């Protein structure tokens, strides 16, 4: 199901990214600019999540990964963390039926065991309810840190080597990828960061090796379908060579 608004926007519907990842940044600054508390910014940001998930589903983008809560975010004030967990649980409850209707499978990337018990229980319930949906996968990165993810993968591989299940010389990039939280998923083609910060913030460091990166100064609560479409249009103009050099390109890499 593809929206007419997107079809007429100039997008090439056959050249859309398979996997989009987004660092949703700027909720706190959005609230501060309006002299509101940070929780209000997070609430407004959750509405943007619904907008972009719906846009991806209508476009036929197969994977969307949203950086919702990092391992470092646990160090924020307890009141803010508690509010974020309440919003997360509310989102999981309120959106479950919509995920089912849209054929979206929910996955959580990160250390789920660190989430409050009621949030973890609701997340597992929604994951289970949507596991047979195949039209799109929505990944929520919760209590997620890429360095921890890579560390966990290395430990799992090391355990297999120690148990004699895997020879050290047989370890390759695919071995590592198969032990990441994103095992079985394609790497992101497009990574978007809102709020104008030029850093990855410990997000999908391995998987984003060849992702096209776009930074917008728009704060996440103000991010719209229209700007998302503009970024997709820009993405389609990029020449993705994955480190390869075309035969007609000078060996020194200079333009012809």
Q: What is the pLDDT of residue 2?
A: 44
Q: Tell me, what's the pLDDT at 248?
A: 55
The structure tokens listed for 114 are: 């660190």
Would you state the pLDDT for residue 216? 98
Say if strands 190-193 and 104-109 run parallel, antiparallel, or are unpaired. unpaired
Task: Give the whole-angstrom CA distance, residue 106 versus residue 3.
Answer: 22
Q: DSSP of 158-191, one letter per residue?
A: HHHHHTTSS-GGG--HHHHHTTSTTTTSPPPSEE
Give CA–CA dist 93/106, Å, rounded. 12
The answer to whether residue 135 is catalytic is: no
Residue with tokens 């919702």: 68
Complete domains list, the chain, with CATH: 4-144+187-233 (3.40.1180.10)
Catalytic residue among 25, 139, 187, 189: 25
Tell me, what's the pLDDT at 6? 47
Instruction: Return d(Cα 147, Cα 155) in angstroms, integer.
Output: 12
Helix (H) or strand (E) holding 85: helix 78-102
Low-confidence residues of the chain: pLDDT under 50 = 1-8, 249, 251-256
Least Cα distance to 226 among 27, 51, 43, 46 occurs for 51
pLDDT at 87: 95
Distance CA 253, CA 70 (A): 38
Residue 87 burial (10 A CB sphere; 0-12, 13-18, 19+): middle
Question: How many CB atoms sit inside 10 A of residue 180's CB?
Answer: 20
132 in catalytic set = no
pLDDT at 46: 96
Check 14, 37, 73, 170 and give the catalytic one.
73
């Amino acid at each position: 199901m593809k929206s007419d608004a997107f079809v007429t926007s100039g997008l090439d519907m056959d050249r859309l990214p398979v996997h989009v990842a987004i660092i949703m940044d700027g909720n706190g600054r959005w609230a501060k600019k309006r002299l509101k508390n940070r929780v209000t910014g997070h609430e407004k940001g959750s509405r943007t999540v619904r907008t972009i998930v719906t846009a991806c589903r209508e476009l036929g983008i197969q994977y969307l990964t949203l950086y919702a809560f990092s391992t470092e975010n646990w160090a924020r004030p307890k009141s803010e963390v508690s509010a974020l967990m309440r919003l997360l649980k509310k989102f999981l409850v309120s959106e479950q039926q919509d995920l089912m209707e849209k054929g979206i499978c929910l996955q959580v990337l990160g250390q789920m065991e660190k989430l409050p018990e009621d949030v973890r229980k609701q997340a597992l319930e929604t994951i289970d309810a949507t596991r047979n949906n195949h039209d799109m996968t929505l990944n929520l990165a919760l209590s997620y840190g890429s360095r921890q993810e890579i560390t966990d993968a290395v430990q799992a591989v090391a355990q297999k080597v120690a148990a004699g299940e895997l020879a050290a010389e047989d370890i390759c990039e695919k071995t590592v990828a198969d032990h990441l939280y994103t095992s079985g998923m394609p790497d992101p083609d497009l990574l978007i960061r809102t709020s104008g910060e030029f850093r990855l913030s410990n997000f999908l460091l391995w998987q984003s090796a060849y992702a096209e990166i776009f930074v917008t100064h728009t704060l996440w609560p103000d991010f719209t379908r229209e700007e998302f479409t503009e970024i997709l249009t820009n993405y389609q103009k990029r020449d993705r060579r994955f480190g390869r050099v075309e035969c007609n390109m000078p060996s020194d890499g200079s333009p012809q």
